[in-house]
Amino acid sequence: MYWDSMSPFFWFSLLSLCSSCFAKSKPNIIFILADDLGWNDVGYHDSVIQTPNIDRLAAEGVKLENYYVTPICTPTRSVLMTGRYQFHLGMQHHVLVAQEPRCLPLDEVTLPQKLKESGYATHMVGKWHLGFCKWDCVPNHRGFDTFFGFYLAVSDYFTHTRQCHGHKFAAWDLRYNDEPVGPKYENQYSTMLYAKKAQEVIRGHNSDRPLFLYLSFQAVHAPLQVPEQYSNLYADKLKSDEERRIYAGMTTCMDEAIGNVTRTLKETGLWNNSVIVFSTDNGGSRIYGASNWPLRGQKGALYEGGVRGPGFVTSPLLNPSVRGTANRELLYVGDWLPTFVHLAGGTTEGTKPLDGVNQWETISQGTKSARKEIVHNIDPLRDLTRRPIDEPYTEDVPFDVRVAASIRVGHWKLLTGQKGDHRWTTPSDKGYKEEESEHGIVVLFHIMADPEERNDLSTCRPDIVNRLLTRLSFHNKMVVLPEEVFSNRHQADPLNFNMSWTPWL
């Protein structure tokens, strides 16, 4: 058929063709989140734990060696979903508990909602932990086309239940969209189950649309549970450390599951136009077998062991010059939303002011980071007002140093108030030992020169201390305090919902 180049039909057809080509060029985005994975718990960080798939993927892509999350679970997931600091959401104080009548604020625009605007199919598998008091709060009502997983912080890996009534009862916490499906999958180990469901999403995906898959593993969060064939791999190397032996088995099992998922991406041909991101949600929990060595602290701490996490990006779309490299530019979990929206050809219009920045050029080309600052947290509800302190707050200090807070500007990092676990803990396979150090209410470190945070420079660099306190004061003006809510055990009781954890408001 001959089309006159001046005809409206010609231009409409050309525009449609270009739009179709552009749509197909949008990459699939696969975000894999581990739970409580420590810095020293991946093979490429000189760990005793075997993670061959993670190591291979990281070696083929870009290792993020200066990448930060938040100290605990719910805040990190809040930042990931919104691109906004947790203290701008009122989600900075603690994790959401089972019967708490609040969730990620419903007036926040989420990452899957923004990707849907660009034509993406959006799917979530695994742990949510951003609240479920109302149906409007749960994943398939917050932008995900489908959801298979659980709502709470923890669950039995085999039974998919969470205990209640003082451990007298166990209630199901596993759903496909709004439907409870726990009994159907009893005795299927969750790590492999979630990988299997992610593989089903990939195989069933219509490649005419780009895919966003959020695979949020329960692993390697407590309880310490894993099929014996995995923990037996460490029977010799970790025979005197049962917690770490089981934890290591859980991590290796998760690594195998990740290998299964990436293999399916390749088998379906989706790999060739995919960006795969791997991250932890916070530092590892030492009491449950994790190791953040040689970093200071652990999960819950504002020290590096609590907020600096293993992560990498792998993709055929990366510039060949950066593949196999370690990126040491400053990156933050809040950067994924604007980065992914950029990859999707979308816009961040319609969101509240973002704290994340687009980092695709930094990751894919090796350019300088677009970020110079990270506020690790400001939590006015966690302060030292009820404790004797040597340096009481005075009006001439820009920021109330009794408040638990931490900020990173360039290579400088300041911590105030309660900071969490301050120890350095060497894992048992490297000759277990713990070191402690006195620390004041205000401490300052140069992270590039001192990543282990051993040398407090606050007394010799008061100029830097004052500059960073001034920045904390600026951010503190925009802090949103958590709502004062109390759990309603009667309304939320799983006994009211056929022994399932279910939205109740």
382 with 243, same domain: the answer is no
Separation in Å, CA 107 to CA 18, 87, 103, 354, 485: 35, 15, 11, 14, 18
190 with 284, same domain: the answer is yes
**Range of 261's domain?**
25-371
State the pLDDT at residue 486.
Answer: 67
155 with 298, same domain: the answer is yes
- Condensed to tens digits (0 to 9), the pLDDT of residues 446-490 reads 999 999 999 999 999 999 999 999 999 999 999 999 876 666 778
Give domain status of residue 1, yes or no.
no
**Which of residues 327, 342, 371 is at a domain's end?**
371
336 with 410, same domain: the answer is no
Give domain status of residue 56, yes or no.
yes
Closest to 261 in 3D by CA, of 141, 125, 395, 379? 125
- Condensed to tens digits (0 to 9), the pLDDT of residues 348-386 reads 999 999 999 999 999 999 999 999 999 999 999 887 654
Q: Which of 45, 123, 129, 205 is catalytic?
A: 129
263 with 402, same domain: the answer is no
Q: Name 313's bridge partners.
A: 62, 277
CATH number of the domain enclosing 430: 3.30.1120.10
91 with 162, same domain: the answer is yes
Which amino acid belongs to residue 259? G
Query: Is 21 tagged catalytic?
Result: no
**Sites in the chain below the pLDDT cut of 70:** 1-24, 384-396, 484-487
Cis (ω within 30 of 0) for the bond into 183? no
Q: Which of 45, 73, 93, 253 is catalytic?
A: 73
360 with 383, same domain: the answer is no
State the pLDDT at residue 392.
Answer: 46
Domain count, the chain: 2
- Condensed to tens digits (0 to 9), the pLDDT of residues 137-151 reads 999 999 999 999 999
Give domain status of residue 9, yes or no.
no
What percent of the chain is modeled with pLDDT above 70? Answer: 92
Query: Is 129 tagged catalytic?
Result: yes
Give domain status of residue 492, yes or no.
no
**Which of residues 337, 371, 405 is at a domain's end?**
371
State the pLDDT at residue 389.
Answer: 45
State the pLDDT at residue 483.
Answer: 79
Give domain status of residue 18, yes or no.
no
Give domain status of residue 482, yes or no.
no
Give domain status of residue 500, yes or no.
no
State the pLDDT at residue 167.
Answer: 80
